[in-house]
Chain A
Amino acid sequence: MADLLGIGVLFAAVAVATLVAVWLNKSVIPFYIVFGMVLSPSVAGQFSVAGYGLPVVESSEFIELGAELGIVFLLFFLGLEFNLDRLLDRWERITRAGTIDLAINFGAGLLLGFALFRDPLAAFLVAGIVYISSSAIITKSLIDLGWIANDEADPLLGTLVFEDLVIAVYLTIAAALVAGGSDVGAAVTSVGVALSFIVALLLLARYGTPWFERALQTNSNEFTVIRAVGITVLVSGIALAIGVSEAVAAFFVGMAFASTTHTHKLENLLEPVRDTFAAVFFFWIGVETDPRLFASVAGLVAAAVVVTTPTKILSGYLGGRAYDLDPRRSIRVGLGMVTRGEFSLIIAAVALTGAGTSLSSELANAVYSFTVAYVLVMSILGTMLMQYSAPFEDFATARFGAE
């Protein structure tokens, strides 16, 4: 199915996904993915009812571009809400908690990735995939559970901010490595180009504030939205064209806008744009996934869940302690960080672009299916752990004292 009807089915499906999520009181992201999978050619395409085929949404240019815009706007928002000055206030604590989180989880991810896939590049991708927690789902859960008003919110959100910064650098390198292929010289060149582009963007974000300020100076909401989208998508597109991650470019454009007076307005105006295309992105992830491949990666996913759940709880616990929280609240930080989501999927999408070049098609698809299944499990497991944190808190209090 193509054209407007296909897109209509897509948007109707994600709309139904939001209903189901509200009904079950769960985060909507896993449902977008599952609905995408159900309507994909590999599931719905296999069945027919009374001789009629079920509606199937095939990946089309529109959906792929929509998904790409989803990534761009997700990262744009990260940059927009990423205020360096505010961050510097608590830099010491954030860095301590963030470094513990990075060392433990990225380290464990590298070992795990190599053990599972026997390939250095795949190991690097898996390390990123299991390292990065889901800002979107965790923040939503914090609000739902009321933890947002408690002290554990500080290390949780602080560590997420740290991860966001790391992931911007990570994506640059990952995209360059995947594009660079197996040739070491080519990989070094593409990482070099990517990093120079990032430095250029960083300078633009740092010194371009007056220009960005003037660029959005208008009384019309329409013009504001159009100009912001125009700048963001154009810069991201240029980045992609020269082989740099479009997500990272969007992140820096967001950061550039963050220091203007338009931040709040942009957040309000662009949130619906982001949410619309983010839904397309998650749905596209589902469409691209053949659930039959889950069987072949089930063992890998189980191993990853068993290894990376405790590592996040441990690093979160230590991060909470670095914020001088008592054991009970620290364990909550650990449980809260377990959820993985959108960024792991963005890395999976990067992995897919390397199919047949830097990664064998088989390996790229395995990493992709692994990630989708892993994110589905971790997004549900993570939110459940937060919801039913009481026994873990009791354990932590009994084991480490109440303080």
Chain B
Amino acid sequence: MDVTESDLPGVGKKHEVDIGGGQQLVVVTHNTGTRELYLRESEDADSVKLLELSDRMARIVGTILEGAYFQPVESNHVETMLSEGTLLEWYAVEDDSPLVGETLAGADVGQRTGVTVVAIQRDDDVIAAPASTAEIEAGDTIVVIGERDNCERFEQLLGGEL
């Protein structure tokens, strides 16, 4: 892939990206931070303006394009990164899980895995910040916060592997 960078004195910078099929994507970055996107259908065609983005918007769109917010790959569970290493995760409680019928205190989730249960989703209800006496039922979805390792331990505990 070819990217050509050139200076636009008094304006900013221009990047021309070959995107295949003879097409070029032209990004003009103004000194103000505004980005303009142009598409050039072929080498000698005129550039057609696609859109203009503010500095902030350009960064957001850029990270979406980069896949930072959503990467379309196969995944068994939802994973939300709160900060470096800390996850907010959802786990479904299968019928054969050893935790079915246990209370949170009884399963000793906190001590054994290190995660904090922040909610239990049961049918249409959500039990937010459940008490330690809350009982886990088959079909629940348990929402936990914890380090990646701790979340993995909780998943094992839930699956009867711990």
**How many Å from the CB of B67 to the closest CB on chain A?**
26
* B residues near A161, Cβ cutoff 8 Å: 9
Asked if A218 lies at the interface with its beta carbon under 8 angstroms from chain B, I say: no
Contact A264 B9, beta carbon cutoff 8 Å? no
Per-position binary interface string of chain B over residues 26-64, scored 1 when its CB falls under 8 Å from any chain A CB and 0 otherwise: 101001100010101000101111000000000000000
Asked if A157 contacts B31 (CB within 8 A), the reply is no
Q: How far is the CA of A149 from the CA of B48 in the complex (A)?
A: 9
A146 & B9 in contact (Cβ 8 Å cutoff): no
In contact, B46 and A148 (Cβ under 8 angstroms): no
Segment 44-98 of B: residues with Cβ below 8 Å from A: 44, 46-49
Contact A149 B28 (CB under 8 A): yes
Q: Is B127 an interface residue (CB 8 A)?
A: no
CB pair B11 A143 closer than 8 Å: yes
Other-chain contact of A157, B11, B38, B49 (Cβ < 8 Å): B11
Q: Is the interface of B mostly helix, strand, loop or mixed?
A: strand
Q: Decide if A148 touches B14 in the complex (CB within 8 Å).
A: yes
> For the complex, what is the distance from the CA of A10 to the CA of B46, rounded to whole Å?
41
Main SS of the interface on chain A?
A: helix
Interface-central residue, B8, B10, B47, by most chain A CB under 10 Å: B10
Q: Mark A16-41, 1 if CB is under 8 A from B, else 0.
A: 00000000000000000000000000
Say yes or no: A267 contacts B31, CB within 8 Å.
Answer: yes
A: contact size bracket: 20 to 34
- A86 to B28, Cβ gap below 8 A? no
Q: Is the CB of A81 within 8 A of B47?
A: no
Residues of chain A contacted by B48 (CB below 8 angstroms): 146
- A268–B34 Cα distance when bound, in Å, is 12
In angstroms, Cα B11 to Cα A83, docked, is 13
Q: Does A330 touch B at the CB level, under 8 Å?
A: no
Return the chain A residue nearest B38 by Cβ. A149
Report which of A82, A146, A154, A160 forms a contact with B47, defined as CB distance below 8 A. Answer: A146
Q: Given A143-B11, A157-B11, A264-B31 in contact, is the A150-B6 Cβ separation under 8 Å?
A: no
Q: What's the least CB distance linking A326 to chain B, in Å?
A: 7
Does A153 lie at the interface of the complex (its beta carbon under 8 Å from any beta carbon of B)? yes
A59 within 8 A of B: no
Task: For the complex, give the distance between the alpha carbons of A157 and B47 in Å.
Answer: 17
Q: Are B40 and A139 interface neighbours, CB within 8 A?
A: no
Residues in A with CB closer than 8 Å to B9 are 81-82, 86, 157-158, 160-161
Q: What 0/1 readout, one digit per residue, does chain A (140-181) give for beta carbons within 8 Å of chain B?
A: 001100111110011001101100000000000000000000
* Interface residues as binary, A118-142 with B (CB distance below 8 Å gives 1, 0 otherwise): 0000000000000000010001001
The 7 closest A-B pairs by CB, nearest first: A149-B47, A149-B38, A149-B26, A146-B49, A161-B9, A81-B10, A157-B9
